[in-house]
Amino acid sequence: MITPNVVGEDPLWSRRRLLVSSGAAIGGALLEMAFPIARARATESWRSGARFLGLVPFVAEGSVPLEQLVDEGLDGRLYTRLDSLRGAPPVVDNARFYVRTRAPREVVRELAMPRAREGWRIDVGGLVPRPFALRAGDLARSATSKPDTLLECAGNTRHVRFAMMSAARWRGVALADVLDEAHVSPNATSVLVEGVDHRAPTRASRPGASWVLRLDEVRETGAFLATEMNGEPLPLEHGSPVRLIVPGWYGCASVKWAHRIALVDETERATDHMREFASRTHQHGVPSLARDFAPPRIDRAAMPVRVERWAVGDRVQWRIVGIAWGGDRRAAEAPLLVRIGAESGARWERVDRQLAGDEAAGSGRTWDLWTHTCAPRHGRTPIALRVGDVRVPTRRMSAGHYARIVEA
């Protein structure tokens, strides 16, 4: 069972984007000072004779707490530190992997019962000749290794320090295999995956956790039902015992606490969950039918995650370390260009080094590291990136969404 460089100018940064509250800037600086562990990790050897001097802090960002669970239910969050990423490609351990919604009370209660995880039931029905049920224990025994896969919240912004993204190693069962076992009816065109969710809305979110994928999208993305994360049974806050993972799509489609799979046709309405995230997944308005939703794909993107100061002989240099993610393999192979500073003389140049790791790196499923060395700057300095291939979609990055500011 189960491509050429294109180095023309474009307006990635505007003065208005630089205008943020002084409180947010001060908060970001204080948070950088509050985490000496990240600074210590940055002291890895870079080049012979170089001496690490510290990190240049990012400013003009939110002051959210990093790597601690906060709030409950739909408002529950955990924000991942990105400045300590190592490896190519790096993975994030379960306790540090971002959380967008914490487990509903009914899930917590149910999983507290003996053997509840093993017996967790996923009903498979809708347009199938004979509905049946899957058990989480059976899925776990049938699970196979999946490539490292990144998830990013569709609401990942400067306000949360871009900390709502992480990558992990997974095991699971291909959703396509489950559908093959279901003997899908000829008039079925899509599949609805639904998870247990909270019943009451909050100021930030509406209840409902379900997404509709077209059958061809299931196979195209390699969507799977995850049962393990980084070598451990799927943790509670990450969807235990079973969650959907849709590689290359925003995390809102990777439904947690999956308990129902239904085959549907062209008349299926968009779920409340899809409608809530319509504007954050690049939809044209809020379609009423699921068939009219564009896939919530993550375009190619890149940003710096830390800026290191090094003494090299009698000079000081900046070493910018960043990540690149999203898009398909062609996009992942396109050259990255960086621009440091917003003054008229600032130019785009190719990053010094793009690092790739195993077969997942360079595929768009996970993130890769890149590095770039430059002379230090004084005052506030924006750092923006772009892809040196105009054929590659980069909607958020092209709009300056992931540009960051450091202050020295």
Q: Is the confidence at residue 18, as pLDDT, over 50? A: no
Spell out the long-range contacts of 90-95 with Cβ–Cβ below 8 A and sequence spacing 24 or more. Answer: 90/167, 90/367, 90/369, 91/148, 91/167, 91/168, 91/169, 91/230, 92/166, 92/167, 92/168, 93/230, 94/168, 94/229, 94/230, 94/232, 94/235, 94/238, 95/67
Residue pLDDT, tens place only, 55-88: 999 999 999 999 999 999 999 999 999 999 987 7
Burial track 226-244 (b if 16+ CB lie within 10 A, e otherwise): bbbbbeeebbbbbbbbbbb
In the chain, what are the domain boundaries?
Answer: 15-71+299-407, 105-292
Which of 347 and 16 is assigned the larger pLDDT? Answer: 347
Q: Is the confidence at residue 353, as pLDDT, over 80? A: yes
The predicted model gives 342-368 an average pLDDT of 78
pLDDT of residue 89: 79
- How does the average pLDDT of the chain come out, rounded? 88
The predicted model gives 206-221 an average pLDDT of 93
Comparing C-alpha atoms, which of 77, 237, 242, 223 is closest to residue 155? 77
Amino acid at 389: D
The CATH number for 15-71+299-407, chosen from 3.10.450, 2.60.40, 2.30.30, 1.10.3120, is 2.60.40
Considering the entire predicted model, what is its pTM? Answer: 0.87
Contact 227, 233 (CB under 8 A): yes
d(Cα 22, Cα 156) in Å, to the nearest integer? 21
d(Cα 45, Cα 208) in Å, to the nearest integer? 47
Parallel, antiparallel, or unpaired for β 132-135 and 353-354? unpaired
- 94 torsion bin: left (phi>0), alpha (psi -120 to 50), beta (else): alpha
pLDDT of residue 329: 87
Q: Is the confidence at residue 27, as pLDDT, over 60? A: no
Beta strands (DSSP E) in 196-300 are 210-214, 224-229, 232-233, 243-245, 258-264
Query: Is 105-292 in CATH node 3.40.50.2000?
Result: no
Burial class (CB in 10 A: 0-12, 13-18, 19+), 94: middle
Q: Is the confidence at residue 14, as pLDDT, over 50? A: no
Q: How distant, in Å, are the alpha carbons of 121, 179, 185, 192, 323 from that of 263? A: 17, 9, 8, 6, 37
Q: Is the confidence at residue 40, as pLDDT, over 50? A: no
At residue 191 the predicted structure's pLDDT band, cuts being 50, 70 and 90, is: very high
Comparing C-alpha atoms, which of 33, 52, 36 is closest to residue 44? 52
Region of poorest pLDDT, from 14-28, 104-118, 263-277? 14-28
At residue 178 the predicted structure's pLDDT band, cuts being 50, 70 and 90, is: very high
Residue pLDDT, tens place only, 268-289: 999 999 999 999 999 999 999 9
d(Cα 225, Cα 170) in Å, to the nearest integer? 10
Region of poorest pLDDT, from 295-299, 344-348, 400-404? 344-348
Amino acid at 241: P
* Phi, psi dihedrals of residue 317, rounded to the nearest 5°: -130, 150
